[in-house]
């Protein structure tokens, strides 16, 4: 399947030299043959599991870890590694993140634990019961509008609305503002082609921050039963959070809560098209929704990597990572590690165990993991109950990113059960 019109100049199929692979370039991951990416990661795991990536275009070099156990070890290790100087390539390579020490994802230590505990109150299964009910209702309502209607774009008609609706329910964002937030989110983290610019992403990011600045002030005056109100009125060590802490954490929630779930949702439907045997088994009830959810998460791995900086000199597999070095953890490789997953390139909805790292691991394990799983479970349950067949109606378009893995468009047709 051809998924992009871009000219691939740095993709894995162009050369056999791992030193020449540019993991900072989105074109490396936008390839006509997804198997080529798996081949690339397998080579890294076998030949260069701890790989020092060359400096590119004036940006510093960095380490890339591709084996499951190395990735897990660094995720757990907050003694030797920090998130406070960025946690993705786009910020790490620029020297840091402006939200460091304020946003949960790029904070460590006692402050991180305190803010996380404050937010966890809004993310417990009990607190989310009503949100989960809305997820199920919204998913089935959206599907009812497209079954037997003919061709439609699943990404636009379904996938864009479920996660955004869910996270906005959690944050009590007014309905009239949700489309604007979705549009800004797309500009921040992904683009349909290389036409997207850094300036556009920066402007969209600022729009989101300004929006939540206004909303947080309103919630401080009139709090409700939502996560923004919890942040706006909560205290750590007897003191309220700063305005920056509130805004940055709202930003993190809306970005993470939308993009990753959207990519997983689109990937789930595409996987059913590409693996009709698994659809038949699932449709017949031969696989549980819970098991299928975990395999979709492993298979799609929306966040290809996360990153850290070394605080001190650390040795990994005979390589010395110097203090200050950037270390990237490639989930998209770890989730297909042959030493952890039997026949990892097989899409197996009954796979067990399934120790994927799609949500990360350790102290920074994704705060929204429960909600992300519930969104996928709602989708899979609705598909099994309401859809008899899923048919491709055109080419799927890949997002242009070195961080997000997935598609921004998926033309399909659903026939009703």
* pLDDT at position 189: 60
* pLDDT at position 10: 45
User: What is the distance between the alpha carbons of residues 368 and 372, in angstroms, rounded to a whole number?
Assistant: 6
What are the extents of the domains in the chain? 18-416
User: What is the distance between the alpha carbons of residues 27 and 12, in angstroms, rounded to a whole number?
Assistant: 10
* pLDDT at position 196: 57
Asked if residues 379 and 265 have their Cβ atoms less than 8 Å apart, the reply is: yes
Q: What is the value of pTM for the model shown?
A: 0.92
Q: Residue 174, Cβ neighbours under 10 Å: how many?
A: 8
* pLDDT at position 256: 83
Mean pLDDT by 10 residues, the chain (417 residues): 34 68 94 87 97 93 98 97 95 92 93 91 88 96 96 96 91 91 77 63 90 94 91 91 93 87 97 98 98 98 97 97 98 98 98 98 94 97 98 94 94 96
Task: Name the token pair of 322.
Answer: 């110097």
Task: Name the token pair of 361.
Answer: 């691991």
* pLDDT at position 194: 55
Residues near 117 by Cβ (< 8 Å), separated by ≥ 6?
none
* pLDDT at position 200: 84
Placement of tokens 């921040």 in the chain: 188
* pLDDT at position 110: 92
User: What is the distance between the alpha carbons of residues 411 and 252, in angstroms, rounded to a whole number?
Assistant: 30
* pLDDT at position 8: 36
**CATH of 18-416 among 3.10.450.30, 1.10.630.10, 1.10.10.10, 3.40.309.10:** 1.10.630.10
Neighbouring C-alpha atoms within 13 Å toward the C-beta of 227: 31
Residues near 212 by Cβ (< 8 Å), separated by ≥ 6?
228, 246, 247, 250, 251, 254
Is 409 in a helix, a strand, or coil?
strand
Least Cα distance to 243 among 121, 103, 364 occurs for: 103
User: What is the distance between the alpha carbons of residues 78 and 363, in angstroms, rounded to a whole number?
Assistant: 8
* pLDDT at position 4: 32
Is 45 in a helix, a strand, or coil?
helix
Least Cα distance to 253 among 185, 300, 317 occurs for: 185
φ and ψ of 90, to 5 deg: -60, -30
* pLDDT at position 325: 98
User: What is the distance between the alpha carbons of residues 39 and 17, in angstroms, rounded to a whole number?
Assistant: 13
Q: How far apart are the first and last CA of the chain?
A: 28
């Amino acid at each position: 399947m051809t998924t992009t019109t871009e000219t691939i100049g740095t993709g894995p199929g162009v050369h056999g030299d791992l030193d020449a692979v540019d993991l900072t370039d989105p074109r490396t991951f936008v390839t006509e043959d997804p198997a080529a990416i798996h081949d690339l990661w397998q080579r890294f795991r076998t030949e260069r599991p701890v790989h020092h990536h060359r400096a590119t275009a004036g940006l510093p070099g960095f380490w890339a870890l591709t084996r499951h156990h190395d990735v897990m070890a660094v995720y757990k290790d907050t003694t030797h590694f920090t998130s406070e100087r960025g946690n993705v390539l786009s910020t790490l390579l620029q020297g840091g993140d402006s939200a460091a020490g304020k946003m949960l994802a790029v904070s460590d230590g006692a402050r991180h634990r305190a803010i996380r505990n404050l937010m966890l109150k809004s993310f417990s299964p009990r607190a989310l019961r009503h949100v989960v009910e809305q997820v199920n209702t919204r998913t089935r309502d959206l599907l009812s509008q497209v079954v037997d209607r003919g061709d439609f774009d699943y990404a636009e008609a379904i996938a864009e609305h479920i996660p955004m609706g869910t996270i906005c329910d959690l944050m009590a964002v007014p309905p009239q503002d949700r489309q604007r937030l979705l549009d800004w989110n797309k500009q921040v983290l992904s683009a349909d082609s290389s036409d997207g610019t850094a300036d556009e992403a920066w402007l969209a990011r600022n729009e989101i921050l300004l929006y939540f600045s206004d909303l947080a002030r309103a919630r401080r005056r009139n709090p409700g039963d939502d996560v923004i109100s919890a942040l706006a009125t909560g205290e750590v060590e007897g003191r309220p959070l700063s305005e920056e802490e509130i805004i940055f954490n709202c930003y993190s929630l809306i970005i993470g809560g939308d993009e990753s779930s959207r990519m997983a949702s689109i990937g789930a439907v595409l996987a059913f098209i590409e693996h009709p045997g698994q659809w038949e088994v699932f449709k017949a009830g031969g696989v549980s929704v819970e098991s299928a959810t975990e395999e979709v998460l492993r298979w799609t791995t929306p966040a290809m990597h996360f990153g850290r900086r070394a605080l001190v000199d650390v040795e990994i597999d005979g390589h010395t990572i110097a203090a200050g070095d950037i270390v990237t953890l490639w989930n998209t490789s770890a989730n297909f590690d042959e030493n952890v997953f039997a026949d990892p390139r097989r899409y197996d909805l009954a796979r067990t165990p399934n120790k994927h790292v799609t949500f990360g691991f350790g102290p920074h394990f994704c705060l929204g993991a429960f909600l992300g799983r519930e969104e996928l479970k709602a989708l899979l349950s609705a598909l099994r109950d309401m859809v008899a067949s899923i048919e491709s109606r055109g080419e799927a378009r890949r997002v242009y990113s070195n961080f997000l893995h997935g598609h921004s468009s998926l033309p399909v047709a659903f026939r009703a059960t």
